[in-house]
């Protein structure tokens, strides 16, 4: 976390080392080495933090002891709670695009008994034999489609009938235009690329919502943050407490 200001980095460093409940013995040369800065800067940093009331310092003989004040803890706690808000709240993912007519493949799929049966079992409805195809309009929407694909937790297994093999299909529940429950599907080998969303429902969505080719629609899903942020983590830690 290179670009965090040194003040916070020092405060976090001290907190990690136990400086919330214990006075830590720390010297400016040691501190400076940890942050690859000069002894003078380390000294100045402690002076500033003390002046701002974020740490208490006590010089006993030749060593000084440092501890976070309530205000110092509050600073970090505020920051923590703000970030917690951001990362723990449900993640609303929105895709926007326009309805278009597909190749008729979706319709075909959703009338194959092997899929129909699984939809009924795993999603709880009898699918209307056709998919609603949506071309995504923005880069955001396309990126978000990929997130949804990663997160899609319902799996329709592939199978064979006497004619051909059918691939696996991942699926996730979404809302169409904020109100209509639907399911977005991700066929393992789709005819479309990641700029197209395919939706199924027990209803004919075109009829029910009065959609025609070119209609603007909004697909939204709410994800659990824990799963959503997997893969975002970088492996570099912020700082290590003293040995």
Partner DNA sequence: ATTACTATTTCCCGAGTAA
Partner DNA sequence: TTTACTCGGGAAATAGTAA
Interface residue list for its own copies (CB under 8 A): 1, 3-5, 7-8, 12, 15-16, 18, 20-23, 52, 58, 67, 70-71, 73-87, 91-94, 138-140, 144, 147, 229, 232-234, 236-239
Is the Cβ of residue 67 or residue 170 nearer to its own copies in the bound state?
Answer: 67
How far apart, in whole angstroms, are the C-alpha atoms of residue 171 and residue 178? 18
Report the b/e string of 201-236 with b at 16+ CB within 10 A: bbeebbeebebeeebebbbebebeeeebeeeeeeee
Of all residues in the chain, what percent are helix, strand and coil, respectively (each to 5)? 35, 25, 35
Tell me the two tokens of residue 154: 């319902």
Among 27, 194, 220, 239, binds DNA (CB under 7 A): 27
Is the Cβ of residue 29 or residue 104 nearer to DNA in the bound state?
Answer: 29
Least gap, CB of 24 to DNA (angstroms)? 11
Other beta carbons within 10 Å of 123: 18
Which of its own copies, DNA, none lies near 39, with the C-beta cut-off 5 to 8 A by kind? DNA
Least gap, CB of 214 to its own copies (angstroms)? 21
Is the Cβ of residue 57 or residue 206 nearer to its own copies in the bound state?
Answer: 57
Report DSSP state, residue 22. S
Binders of DNA in range 31-90 (CB under 7 A): 37-41, 43-47, 59, 62-64
């Amino acid at each position: 976390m290179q670009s965090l200001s040194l003040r916070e980095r020092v405060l976090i460093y001290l907190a990690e080392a136990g400086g919330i409940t214990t006075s830590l013995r720390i010297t400016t040369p040691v501190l400076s080495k940890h942050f690859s800065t000069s002894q003078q800067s380390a000294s100045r940093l402690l002076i500033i933090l003390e002046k701002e009331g974020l740490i208490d310092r006590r010089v006993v003989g030749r060593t000084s002891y440092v501890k976070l004040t309530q205000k110092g803890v509050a600073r970090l706690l505020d920051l923590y709670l703000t970030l917690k808000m951001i990362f723990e709240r449900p993640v609303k993912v929105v895709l926007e695009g326009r309805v278009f007519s597909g190749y008729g493949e979706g319709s075909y799929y959703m009338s194959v008994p092997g899929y129909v049966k699984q939809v009924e079992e795993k999603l709880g409805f009898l699918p209307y034999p056709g998919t609603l195809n949506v071309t995504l309009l923005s880069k955001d929407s396309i990126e978000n489609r990929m997130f949804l694909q990663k997160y899609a937790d319902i799996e329709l297994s592939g199978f064979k009938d006497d004619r051909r093999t059918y691939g696996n299909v991942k699926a996730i529940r979404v809302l169409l235009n904020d109100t209509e429950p639907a399911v977005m599907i991700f066929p393992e080998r789709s005819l479309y690329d990641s700029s197209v969303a395919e939706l199924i429902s027990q209803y004919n969505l075109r009829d029910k919502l009065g959609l025609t080719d070119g209609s603007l629609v909004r697909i939204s899903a709410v994800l659990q943050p824990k799963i959503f942020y997997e893969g975002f983590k970088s492996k570099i830690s912020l700082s290590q407490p003293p040995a």
